[in-house]
């Protein structure tokens, strides 16, 4: 594999930033789709699987039950927020006895290309529900999303940070209701904030967040090395130069990286580069050679071989499949 050697050297990378904080900063979302549902009991909606997306639910009035496979049903009331991080098919229901109807079978009003309004139910107790689906594009954010549980349920009452989340929920509900110019952009940014707040709360509270890749981000040596890769994936990194950036010998760095992250440094580097490439190929008009050069390869062939090892298809096929999806 041949890579360009940019003018920067390993010592030029800044270690002062918090690697975990930088990863949270990367949690910018795209592909937001959201819907406001006016529901009356009894009602039950089956949400389809949406691979690669995070789905969220907010009740602005009334209540609902969210049923995600392999988790206990959760009751959602105003001031609470549920995140389904892995795009798993699930259901929202007024009660556990009503059979869910697939979402696509429920008539809706398409207000904008990304916003729709549903009215559904049997005429009983009312509930107003805001639902959304978003996608992370940054490779570090994708890695983080993979580690999240099947459901994150947060109450937004009782402490200052939670109250701030509740204020964000109220503002989102108001923007969805008003449908003013620029509302899509505001709702997208508010969804950014809500998801980051939810993930941060989970990171603070969950034992699982202290180990593996997340634990590596917090490690005083491996965390800065990961941040160097994230900030400059195009650089001609070797195990030795990565180790030097965190003042470790090649052998000690390789062993510690493998022990904490669970894969060798250069394998992680290649996977990160290819995740970045996949986003560029899907969402931009960049040519294959431009993408290769941007990620540190001097030949399209070397880039294509690396991409195929990760995604089991060529970059061109990946782009064509993404466009037709």
Q: Is 93 in contact with 72 (CB distance < 8 Å)?
A: no
Can you spell out the DSSP letters for 106-165?
Answer: S-EEEEETTEEEEEEESSSSEEEEEEEEEEE-SHHHHHHHHHS-S-EEEE--SSHHHHHH
Q: What is the pTM of this model?
A: 0.69
Cβ atoms < 10 Å from Cβ of 253 = 23
Q: Give residue limits of the domains in the chain.
A: 10-22+212-324, 29-209
Could you tell me how many residues make up the chain? 325
Rg of the Cα atoms in the chain: 22
Residue-level pLDDT, tens digit, the chain, 325 residues: 434 433 344 444 444 457 777 777 666 666 677 888 999 999 999 999 998 888 999 888 899 999 999 999 999 998 788 999 898 999 999 999 999 999 999 999 887 777 888 999 999 999 999 888 887 777 777 777 788 889 988 776 556 666 777 778 778 778 777 777 777 778 777 877 777 777 777 877 777 777 678 788 888 899 999 989 988 999 999 999 999 999 999 999 999 999 999 899 999 999 999 989 998 998 899 999 999 999 999 999 999 999 999 999 999 999 998 877 6
CA atoms of 56 and 132, how far apart (whole Å):
5
**ω into 42 cis (within 30 of 0):** yes
What's residue 84's pLDDT? 93
DSSP 103: G
Alpha helices in the chain (DSSP H): 19-25, 139-147, 160-178, 183-205, 212-218, 222-231, 239-245, 250-261, 265-283, 288-294, 300-311, 315-324
Q: Is 103 in contact with 47 (CB distance < 8 Å)?
A: yes
* 296 dihedral zone (left: phi>0; alpha: psi -120 to 50; beta): left
What's residue 157's pLDDT? 56
Estimate to the nearest angstrom the gap between the alpha carbon of 105 and the chain centroid. Answer: 28
The domain over range 29-209 is classified in CATH as 2.60.120.280? yes
What's residue 71's pLDDT? 92
- CATH architecture of the domain formed by 10-22+212-324: Orthogonal Bundle (1.10)
Residue 256, helix vs strand vs coil: helix
């Amino acid at each position: 594999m041949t890579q360009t050697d940019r003018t920067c050297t390993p010592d030029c990378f800044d270690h002062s930033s918090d690697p975990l904080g930088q990863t949270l900063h990367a949690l910018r979302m795209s592909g937001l789709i959201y819907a406001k549902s006016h529901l009356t009991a009894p009602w039950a909606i089956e949400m389809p699987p949406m691979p690669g997306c995070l789905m969220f639910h907010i009740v602005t009035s009334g209540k609902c039950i969210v049923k995600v496979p392999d988790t206990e049903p959760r009751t959602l009331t105003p001031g609470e927020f549920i995140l389904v991080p892995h795009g798993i098919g699930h259901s929202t229901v007024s009660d556990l006895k009503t059979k869910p109807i697939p979402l696509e079978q429920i008539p809706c009003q398409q207000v904008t290309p990304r916003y729709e309004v549903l009215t559904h139910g049997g005429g009983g107790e009312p509930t107003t529900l805001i639902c959304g689906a978003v996608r992370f594009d940054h490779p570090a954010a994708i890695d983080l999303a993979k580690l999240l549980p099947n459901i994150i349920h947060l109450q937004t009452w009782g402490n200052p940070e939670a109250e701030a989340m509740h204020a964000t929920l109220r503002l989102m509900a108001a923007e969805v209701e008003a449908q003013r110019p620029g509302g899509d952009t505001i709702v997208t940014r508010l969804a950014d904030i809500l998801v980051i707040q939810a993930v941060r709360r989970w990171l603070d509270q969950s034992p699982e967040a202290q180990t593996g890749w997340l634990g590596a981000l917090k490690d005083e040596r491996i965390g800065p090395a990961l941040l160097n890769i994230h900030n400059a994936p195009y650089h001609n990194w070797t195990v030795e130069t990565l180790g030097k950036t965190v003042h470790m010998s090649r052998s000690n760095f390789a062993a510690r990286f493998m022990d904490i992250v669970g894969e060798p440094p250069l394998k992680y580097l290649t996977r990160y580069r290819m995740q970045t490439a996949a986003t560029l190929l899907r969402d931009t008009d960049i040519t294959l050679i431009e993408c290769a050069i941007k990620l540190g390869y001097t030949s399209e062939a070397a880039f294509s071989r690396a991409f195929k090892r990760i995604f089991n298809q060529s970059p061109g096929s990946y782009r064509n499949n993404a466009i037709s999806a």
